Structure 1
Amino acid sequence: MQIRSLRQFSISILRSNHHEFKHSQISDSFRLTMSKIASQAMILTSSTTKEEISQLHGMTLSSCVSLSVYPKPYISFNLHLPSYTSTSLKQSKYCAIHLMSPTTKATEMAKIFARGNKSPKLEENEDGEIFHEMTTPFNEISNMDYEFFKLPENREVEIPILKNGVETIMICKTDKCFPVHDHEIWVIEVLKILNFSNDKTGGLLYYNRGFHKIGKII
């Protein structure tokens, strides 16, 4: 689906179901509760068969967790719809999950990949959150910030991987996707791990609407 048609489709859904997206008291309380919990901030980049900036997609995740180790390693995450990344994953099937270092550069990249395209007309009545994952982050970074990883099992597919502020990258293949209301839960298989640092920093953490690093041992 083209970007324009996807956005128009998303806006029409938002308008026709306006009442469904209004925050309830329990939703606000839940949001506040979850903001107290630190979670790992990772960046997902989706594979492509075209080396065009407009065709490259990715997003910052705070819901990526280990699902299993044996017989194969799987991880899961969720994303908010509508999402360019979701469309890309369904088409290309491969992605890279970046474990970021707790540095200023990594924080800048995480913010870029968390940024979204909001409709000015809808922002007047809504906070625009439904669009927060309709991102085109590669338009905001230099081509010096990433390179392409070629898949040995599929030479026609390449995954853009970030070069700065990254400790480890997991090369993954999609397995299953489950729709849940206005979200999707994804299960992906880890095929290969690229390590760029042997340091154990705890990675880049996100809580209370900000990025943090791990503290002292209790």
Structure 2
Amino acid sequence: MSPVRPSPRLDSAGAVAGHIEALVGIDRRLAPVRDFAGDVQPRITEPGFVGIAHVICGQQLSVASARAIWSRFELLPGALDPVTYLSLSEEAVRATGFSGGKFRTVRVIAEAMVAGELDFAHLETLPAEEAVRYLVAHKGIGPWTAEVYLVFCAGHPDVFPAGDLALLKAVQHGLGLDARPSIKDMIGIAAAWTPHRSAAALLFWRYFAVMRDREGLLL
């Protein structure tokens, strides 16, 4: 009997486990990382306009700060729909804690969606690198934002946000590297984990959290 192929979308615990099993088969260095990290759960959130706005909200902020700002933003009437978002003033959005830059980036996304130039359903059909290019074509969206959206909102199976500081720290520690990898180096390391790079990201984020909570490291 042939082995069961992992689900292409990381939207269930079973799918994540299948991808991690395949990942460890590719790179045996990840076996102790998996054993230490323990259970890795999917982290799927709402896709589309709400999802990308949520990711933009969290750019360069602590989890606690991002959560507090989002809790105010989502209560702002009209904030969660691209059409009605365009009617909101910058003052109203910034009062929730968004910066001017984030207000404008979300507005660019809303305008593109209303104009039919950004289709999140189409985005989910694209290969990883093509999907990233599709998103970063819109002003204000960088690679980290695009990649995090693809992992957490689209459940894309093969994306690794190489610019994420927690991932860089976790990979250095988990693989026993002498120095924290650069973004370029991290892209090269993660390339070997194709087509399971998103599972690798989820694994190392979990590894980072366990190390931080148990031993106070990696902070």
TM-score normalised by the chain length of structure 2:
0.28
Tell me which protein shows more strand as a share of its residues.
1
